[in-house]
């Protein structure tokens, strides 16, 4: 799929980030990948909460917010290849990934691609609200629902407020965006690649209807760098419901004591 090329003069210019987003003196860069149907604004407030030692870089996929006019990806391989091409110049210093729901599998696949290419890996891969890559994700199954069923599914999982149902045009646009993102999730296939060398931290909502807690420990088979599971109060969108708990743990994981360079 064609994408809009970077237009700034600096080698780090990319449509995935606001201009000059990485021009900081932080110790580590945290690239955040949003959920299906979501946008980079899901990470509003993270920079203030994590402080100046972490540069929070919310990744904006095409087809939403400031990139609303751009065509959306529907295949994860194409999306991850484009992310790698655009973000690679920014991954020359210590960095970490956090991905929520769809963002978790996108972040994992991006790390996997970088490992296959012999490029630097994140010091930590943090994934939230998503099953291990060898399991079928329940959110991909939602693609089979009709509009009425999908709208109800969104409301029930906390992805849409009942109040929004008063605006059918907005709901229609939201469903179109969500369906394309669900196609990204559905296009993922279990990897045949070796496990990653970087540590993986898994975040799971205690009441998440889409991710049974007995599945999350299976993320361990996808890393040789160690895997820890962190349960968080809330459901599928605990990043909003329990942001203080989540960010406290993320901050600790990115501290000097916990951060370890990952090489392959």
Q: Catalytic amino acids?
A: 101, 236
Asked if 112 contacts 196 with a C-beta cutoff of 8 angstroms, the reply is yes
d(CA 91, CA 262): 12
Cα separations in angstroms, 141 against 75, 136, 137, 162, 228: 16, 9, 7, 22, 27
From 41, 36, 120, select the one nearest 76 (Cα to Cα).
36
Cα 264 versus chain centre, distance: 22
Asked if 215 contacts 136 with a C-beta cutoff of 8 angstroms, the reply is no
Hey, which residues does 262 pair with through a beta bridge?
121
Neighbours of 145 (CB within 10 A): 16
| DSSP-based three-state secondary structure for 134 | coil
Hey, which residues does 202 pair with through a beta bridge?
127, 229
Q: Where are the alpha helices (DSSP H) in the chain?
A: 46-50, 76-87, 102-116, 138-141, 147-157, 168-186, 238-241, 243-253
DSSP 234: S
């Amino acid at each position: 799929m064609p994408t809009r090329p970077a237009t700034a003069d600096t080698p780090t210019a990319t449509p995935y980030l606001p201009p000059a987003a990485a021009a900081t003196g932080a110790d580590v860069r945290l690239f955040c990948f949003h959920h299906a149907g979501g946008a980079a604004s899901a990470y509003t407030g993270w920079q203030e909460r994590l402080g100046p030692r972490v540069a929070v870089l919310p990744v904006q996929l095409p087809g939403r917010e400031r990139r609303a006019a751009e065509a959306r990806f529907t295949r994860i391989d194409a999306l991850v290849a484009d992310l790698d091409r655009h973000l690679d110049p920014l991954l020359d210093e210590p960095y970490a990934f956090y991905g929520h729901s769809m963002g978790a599998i996108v972040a994992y696949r991006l790390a996997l691609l970088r490992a296959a290419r012999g490029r630097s890996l994140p010091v930590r891969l943090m994934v939230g609200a998503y099953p291990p890559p060898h399991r079928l994700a329940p959110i991909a199954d939602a693609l089979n629902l009709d509009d009425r069923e999908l709208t109800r599914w969104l409301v029930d999982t906390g992805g849409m407020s009942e109040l929004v149902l008063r605006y059918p045009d907005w709901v229609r646009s939201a469903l179109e965006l969500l369906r394309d993102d669900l196609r990204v999730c559905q296009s993922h296939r279990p990897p045949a690649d070796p496990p990653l060398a970087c540590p993986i931290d898994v975040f799971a909502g205690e009441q998440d209807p889409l991710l049974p807690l007995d599945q999350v420990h299976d993320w361990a088979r996808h890393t040789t760098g160690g895997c820890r599971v962190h349960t968080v109060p809330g459901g599928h969108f605990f990043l909003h419901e329990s942001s203080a708990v989540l960010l406290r743990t993320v901050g600790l994981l990115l501290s000097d004591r916990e951060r370890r360079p990952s090489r392959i």
